[in-house]
Structure 1
Amino acid sequence: MQQQLTTYLRAGYPGLAIITAEEARAEAEITSVCTSLERHLHAWSSSEGLIDIKEGRVTTCPDPLDALQLIERLFGQEKIRHVIVMRDLQLYLEPSDPMLVRRLKDLLRLAKPGGHAMILLGCRLKLPPELDHEITGVDFSLPAAEQLGVVLDGILATNKLKRPNEAIREGALQSALGLTTTEAENAFALSVVETNGIDHKVVAREKARTLKRNGLVEVIETKPSLADIGGLDQLKEWLERRSGAFSTSAKAYGLPAPKGLLIVGIPGTGKSLTAKATASAFGLPLLRLDMGRVFAGIVGQSESNLRSVIQTAEAIAPCVLWIDEIEKGLSGSQSSGSSDGGTSSRVFGSFLSWMQEKEKPVFVVATANDVSKLPPEFLRKGRFDELFFVDLPDALERAQIWDIVIARHGRKPADFDSVVLARACEQFTGAEIDAVFIDAMHEAYADGKEPGNKHIVEAITRTVPLANLMDGQIAALRHWAKGRAREAASRSTPARRYSGRVAESN
């Protein structure tokens, strides 16, 4: 941020905004910039008033209008360039106060010829239309590993602990990426209390809790492997061949990091499981984004939420960002102007721009059940490296799924005839096969027996597969995918018209 802020101040920008929850770190960087540029720094808050940072002089003025009047006098001083940090002034602009807005506009106009600047500092930026073009946002990223290292060293020094070896230290710092300095400090301190040292597992656990509490993204700790997926041989091969693309050697080779993958298919065919297994195959952290939560009720909050998600993902990078059922979050973008004032359209456009231009190694895995709801521009080449279509499993793949499901539930696949079971559950998805086996286990437990082929076949006869209920939608999806998407599984004969995977809800 310091370089960008320095450039803006030297260029004479009178109004700037820094959106962050790390007020102390942001003010430290602002102080550093003002010192290097020889600018006189002041800070205002409703609780403390206007503070002269250099001289420590405090003028009590809880009312922002009174504060602006004092700042106007400062701007009238000759040969001194002032920078004023306004803490949480945005709160007084919701809803906007006409007098405050007018006074702020006048002050910004007065600041420009004198080389002064006002910086709005807070957790969110919601400006009235009158100020939209008067204030310029300054990017403030989450702390990098080097900055978190300073926090970690401070925790170790406070608790009189020796510096751990580089492998342990690096693991802890990587686990803390995506947290603010305060959150990281808390996680490191908790690790010291619980383990009397620094344990990256404790830090990672706390990060997962913190991100989940924020409600936008969550860290998925348990990641299945590609071996847990039945079928999908072409998709798995594609992932395996790109598993080393995030390595140092790949970067030295000049290989760009993969952008992402879109998986379209029938519900229950294992798209979500594949997304999770992608992170395992790449050896990267997995973040799950609920696109619906990005769209908040407060005007302007949706855009802020998206910026927060991108900032978190890029701070943790390299990582895999999984967006499940993305069509539910983006389906309203085309009619956004008449339904939500264009919010969905703006968020969608910002998301597309980030996907196209992102420089950090964030691999996006998006899954969708209803491709008709996705905007056309989302599907074009350049957004994703590849688009795969996942269909129903054929007999061979259903047999593979049966073996995986049976083993996952603590039984031996050799005790069952998976070929017979595969023939008996034609048109079943992986999720339905898993549900059938659980049903058979319940019946067997009630009989005081172990589940066998008889219990499973009876459970199959009681189940109506989804394919029977939505045959029209499946036919339409197959028609769309032909020539537009790669098959996730091999197609050797017309009879092998399906692709399979292990049980998963999506």
Structure 2
Amino acid sequence: MHFEAEFKLLLLSQHLIIYILTDEEERLEYTINQIVNKESNSSIYSWDFIDGYQNNPNYINKAKRSPIEALEFIETLVYETPKIFILKDFHVFMNDISIIRKIKNIKKILQKTNSHIIISAPTTQISPLLNDIITIIYFPLPNIKEIEVELKRLFTLMSIDISVDTTKLASAYKGFSIEKIRRSVAKLLSFRRSTEEIINNILEEKKELVKQTDILDFYSNNHNLKDIGGLINLKQWLIKRSNSFSKQAKNYGLPYPKGILLIGIQGTGKSLSAKVISQEWRIPLLRLDIGKIFAGLVGESEERMRKMIKISEESAPCILWIDEIDKAFSRSNNNADSGTTDRVLSSFLTWLSEKETKVFIVATANNVLSLPSEILRKGRFDEIFFLDLPNYEERLKIFQIHLMKVRPLTWKKYDISYLGKLTNGFSGAEIRQSIIEAMHNAFYEKREFNTEDIVQVTNEFIPLSFTDQASISKLQDWAKSGKVRFASRTVIE
């Protein structure tokens, strides 16, 4: 639901104390003023710890440095008309027993007078004693339309005659607060630059912004579909959905794709595939280290999951890459942490099933047999792909891709056909490593490396399919049971 509609609904349905999560105090206060002035005749009072009450000449500086007095002030007012009290950063005082008691007492007055308290805070910090009387909502970052309006306003204010595409610029700024956009525009547009140069700079700023969250990482990469050897079924699936987030797709009636789960043996291209989707679809890639979600304090893990979801949706359209999801949501973990894993998993799966934003999930897992059945249930992901060890044709392509990168002019002199036969049971990562090892050996001997160097390395190399044969065979048998779709076409060697 849009913030304005949600906020008006809460006011009308007697939600008397509303806790709004935001870092944008100024924009929130402006938005509330706009809504109230349009919808009702309520008076608005704004308070902060340093300056006390503002925006009413009769009460300037009232309750400075006194949160308890700020609440007492609400009790003393004459309520001829409904009133709205915006208390900034009030969350830091809400574990004090006197504040808790005073808020409970004030609730009765608010009820009689159809008035409301709005608490503006950047984080959730509420005493359990107040959970029943406080409603928490998020104030979203500006959408693309709001950003475009602000950009045009700034260009006019700064007298900048600029030829950049404001729609593209607004899309790049998605996930920024208005204040950050203003600072960025002042810096980036001080020199004449092309739209592409400006957008690249914005993406670098966004990368730093996401990194500060300590939950997500912003990945920039230059991998494309040509960097993947094989996986034809997966590639075709991705190509068909490359414009799924476009306006044309929406007008056609297509829902936004939810995501895919990539299951398979280590080194078969699961992580590379996530990077390739980002490049192919031309939308940013955010990587979630799932281990960072789980924290020591009670309730903090759930809060981090909510924060991750919020950041992802504010950065949309984007790819959210969750690497090795099986390590966090293993069946063996569920009973070892007082239910924290279950609650975090439940929150994630609910979002995955219900989300309608342009966030495409790419989750990877090595050991699917340890995953809870809820993750594999139909409807969670659009598709589940199994990435097996590469077949002969795929091994030829993998050798070609890696040799072309290191020897773009002379790669054809290597006997790829022979190497492909020799590396049956090797993963793509192991093939790449065999080439690198051969190069090291030849470089040490101060000569060019050749096919024989790679052959020698592969003859001495012990692939994972040999050292962990039982686990891999078990995984392959599970995949053949028909529960997943193979990322590659079946080729009999």
The two structures have a TM-score, normalised by structure 2, of: 0.92
1:109-139 per-residue CA deviation (whole Å, 9 max, x = no partner) reads 3312221111111111122221112111223
Kept in 2, the 8 Å contact 1:124–1:304? The answer is no
Kept in 1, the 8 Å contact 2:331–2:371? The answer is no
Instruction: Report the residue type matching 2:67 in the other structure.
Output: P
Give the superposition deviation at 1:470: 1.7
Kept in 1, the 8 Å contact 2:141–2:176? The answer is yes
SS of aligned partner of 2:129: helix
SS of aligned partner of 1:59: coil
**Residues 1:351 and 2:351 are matched in the alignment:** no
Which shifted more, 169-178 or 154-163? 154-163
Q: Which residue of 2 aligns with 1:27?
A: 29
**After TM superposition, where is structure 1 displaced by more than 6 Å over at least 4 residues in a row?**
none
**Residues 1:217 and 2:216 are matched in the alignment:** yes
Give the superposition deviation at 1:299: 3.8
Q: Distance in 1 between matches of 2:59 and 2:341?
A: 46
Alpha carbons of structure 1 residues 83 and 468: separation in structure 2 relative to 1, 3 Å? same
Q: Distance in 2 between matches of 1:179 and 1:134?
A: 32
Give the superposition deviation at 1:280: 2.8
1:300-339 per-residue CA deviation (whole Å, 9 max, x = no partner) reads 4433333333233333333322211112233379726x61
Q: Distance in 2 between matches of 1:328 and 1:385?
A: 22
Alpha carbons of structure 1 residues 53 and 5: separation in structure 2 relative to 1, 3 Å? farther
Whose RCO is larger (CA < 8 A, sep 6+)?
A: 1
Kept in 2, the 8 Å contact 1:111–1:117? The answer is yes
**Residues 1:476 and 2:474 are matched in the alignment:** yes
Q: Which residue of 1 aligns with 2:280?
A: 281
1:402-421 matches, within 5 Å, as: 402-411=399-408, 412-421=410-419
Alpha carbons of structure 1 residues 334 and 107: separation in structure 2 relative to 1, 3 Å? farther
Kept in 1, the 8 Å contact 2:52–2:62? The answer is yes
Q: Which residue of 2 aligns with 1:290?
A: 289
Alpha carbons of structure 1 residues 91 and 220: separation in structure 2 relative to 1, 3 Å? same
Give the superposition deviation at 1:282: 2.7
1:151-189 per-residue CA deviation (whole Å, 9 max, x = no partner) reads 323443454311435xx2222111111111122223222
Kept in 1, the 8 Å contact 2:215–2:292? The answer is yes
Q: Which residue of 1 aligns with 2:6?
A: 4
Q: Which residue of 2 aligns with 1:504?
A: none
Give the superposition deviation at 1:19: 0.5
SS of aligned partner of 1:288: strand
Which shifted more, 392-401 or 57-66? 57-66
Kept in 2, the 8 Å contact 1:172–1:200? The answer is yes
**Residues 1:40 and 2:43 are matched in the alignment:** yes
Q: Distance in 1 between matches of 2:56 and 2:468?
A: 67
Of 397, 402, 416, 1:400 maps to 397
Of 443, 446, 451, 1:445 maps to 443
Q: Distance in 2 between matches of 1:98 and 1:222?
A: 52
SS of aligned partner of 1:58: coil
1:169-208 matches, within 5 Å, as: 169-193=166-190, 195=192, 199-208=198-207
Q: Which residue of 2 aligns with 1:152?
A: 151
Kept in 2, the 8 Å contact 1:126–1:300? The answer is no
Which shifted more, 310-319 or 16-25? 310-319
Instruction: Report the residue type matching 2:6 in the other structure.
Output: Q
Q: Which residue of 2 aligns with 1:254?
A: 253
Alpha carbons of structure 1 residues 206 and 487: separation in structure 2 relative to 1, 3 Å? same
Kept in 1, the 8 Å contact 2:391–2:491? The answer is no
**Residues 1:434 and 2:432 are matched in the alignment:** yes
Q: Which residue of 2 aligns with 1:120?
A: 119
SS of aligned partner of 1:322: strand
Instruction: Report the residue type matching 1:414 in the other structure.
Output: K
Kept in 1, the 8 Å contact 2:320–2:360? The answer is yes
Alpha carbons of structure 1 residues 308 and 154: separation in structure 2 relative to 1, 3 Å? farther
1:159-170 matches, within 5 Å, as: 159-165=158-164, 168-170=165-167
Alpha carbons of structure 1 residues 106 and 481: separation in structure 2 relative to 1, 3 Å? farther
Q: Distance in 2 between matches of 1:215 and 1:195?
A: 34
Q: Distance in 1 between matches of 2:468 and 2:23?
A: 47
Percent identity between the two aligned chains? 33
Give the superposition deviation at 1:194: 5.0
Q: Distance in 2 between matches of 1:112 and 1:332?
A: 47
SS of aligned partner of 2:23: coil
Q: Distance in 2 between matches of 1:260 and 1:456?
A: 38
Q: Distance in 2 between matches of 1:109 and 1:329?
A: 45
Q: Distance in 2 between matches of 1:355 and 1:473?
A: 29
Instruction: Report the residue type matching 1:80 in the other structure.
Output: T
Q: Distance in 1 between matches of 2:345 and 2:66?
A: 38
Q: Distance in 2 between matches of 1:266 and 1:252?
A: 39
Instruction: Report the residue type matching 2:367 in the other structure.
Output: D
Q: Distance in 2 between matches of 1:271 and 1:232?
A: 10
Q: Distance in 2 between matches of 1:449 and 1:52?
A: 78
Instruction: Report the residue type matching 2:463 in the other structure.
Output: P
Q: Distance in 1 between matches of 2:452 and 2:237?
A: 38
Kept in 2, the 8 Å contact 1:48–1:62? The answer is yes
Q: Which residue of 2 aligns with 1:366?
A: 363
Kept in 1, the 8 Å contact 2:16–2:110? The answer is yes
Alpha carbons of structure 1 residues 223 and 313: separation in structure 2 relative to 1, 3 Å? farther
Give the superposition deviation at 1:235: 1.3
Q: Distance in 1 between matches of 2:458 and 2:491?
A: 28
1:444-466 per-residue CA deviation (whole Å, 9 max, x = no partner) reads 11211111112212222343212
Instruction: Report the residue type matching 1:423 in the other structure.
Output: K
1:398-454 per-residue CA deviation (whole Å, 9 max, x = no partner) reads 111111111122443202111211222222111111112111112211211111112
What do you get for the CA RMSD once the two structures are aligned? 2.2
**Residues 1:228 and 2:230 are matched in the alignment:** no
Q: Which residue of 1 aligns with 2:309?
A: 310
Instruction: Report the residue type matching 1:363 in the other structure.
Output: F
Q: Distance in 1 between matches of 2:230 and 2:217?
A: 28
Instruction: Report the residue type matching 2:79 in the other structure.
Output: E
Kept in 1, the 8 Å contact 2:322–2:362? The answer is yes
Of 32, 46, 61, 2:64 maps to 61
Kept in 2, the 8 Å contact 1:142–1:180? The answer is yes
Q: Which residue of 2 aligns with 1:339?
A: 337
Alpha carbons of structure 1 residues 353 and 437: separation in structure 2 relative to 1, 3 Å? same
The alignment covers a number of residue pairs equal to 486
Alpha carbons of structure 1 residues 477 and 401: separation in structure 2 relative to 1, 3 Å? same
Give the superposition deviation at 1:143: 0.7
Q: Distance in 1 between matches of 2:296 and 2:41?
A: 42
Q: Distance in 1 between matches of 2:451 and 2:274?
A: 31
SS of aligned partner of 2:212: helix
Kept in 2, the 8 Å contact 1:286–1:321? The answer is yes
Which shifted more, 412-421 or 184-193? 184-193
Alpha carbons of structure 1 residues 213 and 70: separation in structure 2 relative to 1, 3 Å? same
SS of aligned partner of 1:161: coil
Kept in 2, the 8 Å contact 1:39–1:81? The answer is yes
Q: Which residue of 2 aligns with 1:502?
A: none
The two structures have a TM-score, normalised by structure 1, of: 0.90
Q: Which residue of 1 aligns with 2:90?
A: 89
Give the superposition deviation at 1:386: 0.8
Give the superposition deviation at 1:238: 1.6
